[in-house]
A and B are shown apart, each in its own frame.
Chain A
Amino acid sequence: MGSQQGYEPAQPIAYSHALHAGELQINCLYCHSGAEKSRHAGVPSASICMNCPAQVKKDAPEIKKLSAAIESGTPIEWTRVHRLPDFAYFNHSRHVAANVACQTCHGAVETMVRVKQVETMTMGWCLDCHRNTEKETRSAAKRIAPTTDCSACHY
């Protein structure tokens, strides 16, 4: 498949990262808590979403969709934006542990009303970072030497 760069699908609920992550400055990991411990960052369950708007803005049409989903027991089907092919293994937790900012790969999500794939997410793009990080951190206190082994991602 070709590059998905610029992919910006409509979502079932018009959730705005610009509002939540930008204006309200909610930490990415508050909702995407899997990024710290799992290969998947994860999309928060509807009950996590309802932690806040339930108190704040019950009657907004988009939030009504959320409460309707919970009431009817129908999970929300979000459209996936960032996707690596099945033959590439990627683990969020490793990257979070190495202090890679979310924005490095996902772009300035905190400015996006609708999330868009900013980078190419091709193998060459992964390797650019893997090769340069070692050089950049060589003199730093925490030296990071990411692997460029084929079998690190393809096995």
Chain B
Amino acid sequence: MSLLDKDKYWQCADEHVNEDEHDHVHGYDHERDNPPPASVNRRSFFKIMGLSTAAVAAAGCKRAPVAKIVPYLTKPEEVTPGEALWYASTCGACSAACGILLKTRDGRPIKVEGNEKHPASRGGVCAMGQASVLSLYDAARARGPLAAGKATTWAELDAAVKAGFARAAASGKSIRVVTPPVVGPTADATIAAFLAAFPTAKRVTFDALPYEEAIADAHAATHGARVVPAYNFGGAKVVVSVGADFLGTWVSPVAFTRDYAKARDPEGVRPMLRHIQIESTMSLAGANADRRYSVAPSDEIPVLAALARRVLERSDVAGKDTLLAAVAKIGPAKFDARSLDAVAKEILARRTEALVVSGSTDVRAQTLVNIINYALGTTVVSSARPLHRLAAALSFAEFLAELKAGSVGAVLLCGVNPVYAHPDGAEIAKALRGIPLVVSTNDRVDETASAAAYLAPSHHFLESWGDAATALTALSLSQPAVTPLFDTRGTWESLLAWAGRSSAYYDFMRARWEKEVFPVAADAGASFQAFWDRSVHDGVAALKEAPEAALPFRIDETQKALEGIGASPAVGGVEVALYAKVGMRDGALANNGWLQELPDPISKATWGNYAAMSPALAKKQGLAEGAGVTVSFGDRKVTLPVLIQQGTHENVVALALGYGRTRAGKVGNGVGANAFALARVDAGRVQLCRPGAAISATGAVEPLALTQTHHSQEKRALVREATARPASCRVTPRTTSRPSARTRSGAAARCTGFASTVILKDRPKTRASFSNR
């Protein structure tokens, strides 16, 4: 029993609710798990001491091992051994493509930092970007090209793959290039060059977390352009986010965090940005919101529709009535109508400075978002000068249908892992095995690459050239910071080789920049060489501000896109919400120990995922934290320990994606469970929420690795609270800077309030509590 006021200081909810400290909550019992070293008495202690001292002394007589100094034969001019070199580049850990600076020593990248010159990320870089340098040295990466699992040479692989493509082309079968939706403009051009070389070839995009595709497809309907628009969180005065964790994982979280922090600076511009979050699982954005509402995922579309209706009624935009009629067909929301009125009132009060975003993977939800933003006439979202332009491509659903129909002769998988990250992964693997030629450019023999006959492993992004369109008026550039560690070749280099182009990817990219980027560069100068050198040096090239032609809102297409949503059918059971975790996202970097070890900013859990649920649901189900549960939809099931997370909707079980990899490598394999298995496929599209799950307790208890409950006081009442008079409060800071007898003995005093409260961090006084250590 601590001397502290439990209403003020508690580390976890259990501690707050129960009288006792949390020690016994997570299956950890300090006294049981750390028995006092009773077996070591004073005598044996000196024996051990003596032995170890002798061992040190014996070692001390030896010479140090012979060390070598191996200088360069010819030292590169810019290298000074012992001094770090910094290179500007672009992060490849996700499609946000933030600007990074790489610290390299002796030609080895050792640290990723943000690039302040980058107009989007402005010196910021997220946990995944920071950790990506470790993945460069990942021992599970493929060391060279493989054919049927056996090492081969690039020449042999190229010959076999080219022959395979030629066979597929000759037999009239199609060739499919599966890539992520956003790969960068030069990579897009490379794919186009490849497609031009093979008339039956087409591009397919696969996005493990398909919300960007949903946003782009909604914009294709509403604005006639398949884009992810640019969001200006810094210019907005009200943000309503329906399930979009824009500070943690959504679209470009680093850039958004910069804008958001600036707009919410107490010293900065007024009025401050107001933020309303409506979500089913507790997210980083939700934790920062001024007002947060909990909503079931199945209620998101009705909530957006209700908001759209309220906004449309109070607006006079063209096509208002058509849109209202379309929106009215959507069933009523279970969400509290008065709260909806309050939210609508806030955005209507700001209109052009209001921004509504959604994290839904449902195109219809994103369409409703576009309707709301259109009806508001908001100026803080721009589809005319977008963040990403998604290249025309077949959807993954169309590709799967083709695979099953047997019309595909060759498949090229470029940095995608659908066998892991798709609910029908096992079927995809089976279908791929029946294709005459399957080539993967993944960096390791992962779940998908093991279904491919050929592995043409790509470089890590720190070993590659590349570019990315990340900011409105800038192009971000990647340069290799290290000679490739293994016998790998960049994906786009491979594509060029297979397309019969003789040029290296570097030359291809440079030529493209000279032809297409140089003429539109903001401060190009006279010579391309100087412009190129400066762009490589800065990691980014500013582009001229192109005149913005606003895209008209297409009423009829929008109406069509909303067709088919009726009242949401009543499904029993709990709803599953699958979400991207800040340090893991789609699980591509699951073999990175730093990311596995990183505590989630909300749950503080490390190593693995869990079934997060509200205290109410846990109570209803009779589940305690750490209890094993099986979440199932028929024969699709996932078993995970329970984590009680306040803020989760009371009928929702939230599962993080990215875990449960089977072929990621030593670190990531078997950590957590693969929640992609529970995703819903609706008309070919993967949806990350699904109602109607059954939950059953397994009876097992698995303690969670939570950092939240580190630093327990072990019932010793180290932190004490006392009330002091203002006079003594003034004294306390001095005692911390100049140690008194008291602070030397391990106590520290801290003035926490203006006048009254002092927390004394004290050493235990009694012998009894000391022996507990």
Q: Is B526 in the interface zone, CB < 8 Å from A?
A: no
In the complex, chain B residues whose CB is within 8 Å of the CB of A77: 68-70
Which of these binds chain B: A2-10, A21-29, A99-107, A136-144?
A: A2-10
CA distance A73 to B74 in the complex (A): 10
Q: Known interface pairs A34-B82, A38-B82. Does A46 touch B74 (Cβ–Cβ under 8 Å)?
A: yes
Q: Mark A16-56, 1 if CB is under 8 A from B, else 0.
A: 00000000000000000010011110111111100000000
Query: How many B residues face the partner with a CB closer than 8 A?
Result: 20
In the complex, chain B residues whose CB is within 8 Å of the CB of A4: 63-64
Contact of A38 among B60, B63, B71, B81 (CB under 8 A): B81
Q: Is B725 in the interface zone, CB < 8 Å from A?
A: no
In the complex, chain A residues whose CB is within 8 Å of the CB of B75: 45, 47-48
Q: Is B55 in the interface zone, CB < 8 Å from A?
A: no
Q: Is B1 in the interface zone, CB < 8 Å from A?
A: no
Return A78 CB to nearest CB of chain B, in Å. 5
CA distance A39 to B80 in the complex (A): 10
Which residues of B in the span 598-631 have a Cβ within 8 Å of any Cβ on A? none
In the complex, chain A residues whose CB is within 8 Å of the CB of B73: 45-47, 69-70, 73-75
Task: Give B67's nearest chain A residue, CB to CB.
Answer: A80
Q: Decide if A34 touches B69 in the complex (CB within 8 Å).
A: no
Q: Is A76 in the interface zone, CB < 8 Å from B?
A: yes
Return B414 CB to nearest CB of chain A, in Å. 36
In the complex, chain A residues whose CB is within 8 Å of the CB of B71: 42-46, 75-76, 78
Return B383 CB to nearest CB of chain A, in Å. 51
In the complex, chain A residues whose CB is within 8 Å of the CB of B62: 1-2
Q: Is B316 in the interface zone, CB < 8 Å from A?
A: no
Q: Is B51 in the interface zone, CB < 8 Å from A?
A: no
CA distance A145 to B441 in the complex (A): 58
Q: Known interface pairs A2-B63, A34-B80, A34-B81. Does A43 touch B69 (Cβ–Cβ under 8 Å)?
A: yes
Q: Decide if B70 touches A75 in the complex (CB within 8 Å).
A: yes
Return A100 CB to nearest CB of chain B, in Å. 17
Q: Is A151 in the interface zone, CB < 8 Å from B?
A: no
Return A33 CB to nearest CB of chain B, in Å. 8
CA distance A69 to B70 in the complex (A): 12
CA distance A39 to B207 in the complex (A): 47
Task: Give A33's nearest chain B residue, CB to CB.
Answer: B80
CA distance A2 to B58 in the complex (A): 10
CA distance A31 to B324 in the complex (A): 80
Return B29 CB to nearest CB of chain A, in Å. 36
Return B538 CB to nearest CB of chain A, in Å. 24
Task: Give B80's nearest chain A residue, CB to CB.
Answer: A38
In the complex, chain B residues whose CB is within 8 Å of the CB of A69: 73
Q: Is B546 in the interface zone, CB < 8 Å from A?
A: no
Q: Known interface pairs A34-B82, A38-B82, A39-B82. Does A7 touch B69 (Cβ–Cβ under 8 Å)?
A: no
Return B694 CB to nearest CB of chain A, in Å. 55
In the complex, chain A residues whose CB is within 8 Å of the CB of B70: 75-78
CA distance A48 to B73 in the complex (A): 9
Q: Decide if A47 touches B60 in the complex (CB within 8 Å).
A: no
Task: Give A42's nearest chain B residue, CB to CB.
Answer: B81
Q: Is B156 in the interface zone, CB < 8 Å from A?
A: no
CA distance A138 to B131 in the complex (A): 48
Q: Is B59 in the interface zone, CB < 8 Å from A?
A: yes
Q: Decide if A2 touches B61 in the complex (CB within 8 Å).
A: yes
Return B82 CB to nearest CB of chain A, in Å. 4
Return A42 CB to nearest CB of chain B, in Å. 5
Q: Decide if B60 touches A1 in the complex (CB within 8 Å).
A: yes
Q: Decide if B80 touches A45 in the complex (CB within 8 Å).
A: no
Q: Decide if A40 touches B82 in the complex (CB within 8 Å).
A: yes
Q: Mark B61-95, 1 if CB is under 8 A from A, else 0.
A: 11110111111111100001111000000000000
Q: Decide if B82 touches A78 in the complex (CB within 8 Å).
A: no
CA distance A2 to B63 in the complex (A): 6
In the complex, chain B residues whose CB is within 8 Å of the CB of A46: 71-74
Task: Give B71's nearest chain A residue, CB to CB.
Answer: A43
Q: Is A154 in the interface zone, CB < 8 Å from B?
A: no
Q: Decide if B63 touches A79 in the complex (CB within 8 Å).
A: no
- Counting chain A CB atoms within 10 Å of each CB, the highest count among B60, B64, B69, B81 belongs to B69
CA distance A47 to B71 in the complex (A): 10
Q: Decide if A47 touches B74 in the complex (CB within 8 Å).
A: yes
In the complex, chain A residues whose CB is within 8 Å of the CB of B68: 77-80
- Counting chain A CB atoms within 10 Å of each CB, the highest count among B63, B71, B80 belongs to B71
CA distance A24 to B64 in the complex (A): 33
In the complex, chain B residues whose CB is within 8 Å of the CB of A80: 66-69
Q: Known interface pairs A38-B80, A77-B68, A78-B69. Does A2 touch B74 (Cβ–Cβ under 8 Å)?
A: no
Return A53 CB to nearest CB of chain B, in Å. 15
CA distance A80 to B83 in the complex (A): 19
CA distance A70 to B64 in the complex (A): 30
Q: Known interface pairs A34-B81, A38-B80. Does A45 touch B72 (Cβ–Cβ under 8 Å)?
A: yes
Return B20 CB to nearest CB of chain A, in Å. 40
CA distance A45 to B75 in the complex (A): 6
In the complex, chain A residues whose CB is within 8 Å of the CB of B83: 34, 37-39
CA distance A42 to B70 in the complex (A): 10
Which residues of A in the span 68-100 have a Cβ within 8 Å of any Cβ on B? 69-70, 73-80, 83, 92
Q: Known interface pairs A2-B62, A45-B74, A70-B73. Does A37 touch B67 (Cβ–Cβ under 8 Å)?
A: no
Q: Mark B490-519, 1 if CB is under 8 A from A, else 0.
A: 000000000000000000000000000000
CA distance A39 to B105 in the complex (A): 13
Task: Give A4's nearest chain B residue, CB to CB.
Answer: B64
CA distance A76 to B68 in the complex (A): 9
In the complex, chain B residues whose CB is within 8 Å of the CB of A83: 64, 67
Return A51 CB to nearest CB of chain B, in Å. 11
Contact of B66 among A9, A34, A43 (CB under 8 A): A9
Q: Known interface pairs A43-B69, A76-B71. Does A1 touch B64 (Cβ–Cβ under 8 Å)?
A: yes
Return A138 CB to nearest CB of chain B, in Å. 26
Which residues of B in the span 25-82 have a Cβ within 8 Å of any Cβ on A? 59-64, 66-75, 80-82
In the complex, chain B residues whose CB is within 8 Å of the CB of A74: 73
CA distance A4 to B82 in the complex (A): 23
Q: Known interface pairs A45-B72, A46-B74. Does A79 touch B67 (Cβ–Cβ under 8 Å)?
A: yes
21 contacts between A and B (CB under 8 A): A1-B62, A1-B63, A7-B63, A34-B81, A34-B83, A38-B81, A42-B71, A45-B72, A45-B74, A46-B73, A47-B73, A69-B73, A75-B72, A76-B71, A77-B70, A78-B71, A79-B68, A79-B69, A80-B67, A80-B69, A92-B82
Contact residues of B with A, CB < 8 Å? 59-64, 66-75, 80-83
A-B contact sample (18 more), CB < 8 A, given A2-B60, A38-B80, A38-B83 = A1-B60, A1-B62, A4-B63, A4-B64, A38-B82, A43-B69, A45-B74, A46-B72, A69-B73, A74-B73, A75-B70, A75-B72, A77-B69, A77-B70, A79-B66, A79-B67, A80-B66, A83-B67
The 9 closest A-B pairs by CB, nearest first: A40-B82, A38-B82, A80-B67, A45-B75, A45-B72, A47-B74, A39-B82, A43-B71, A1-B64
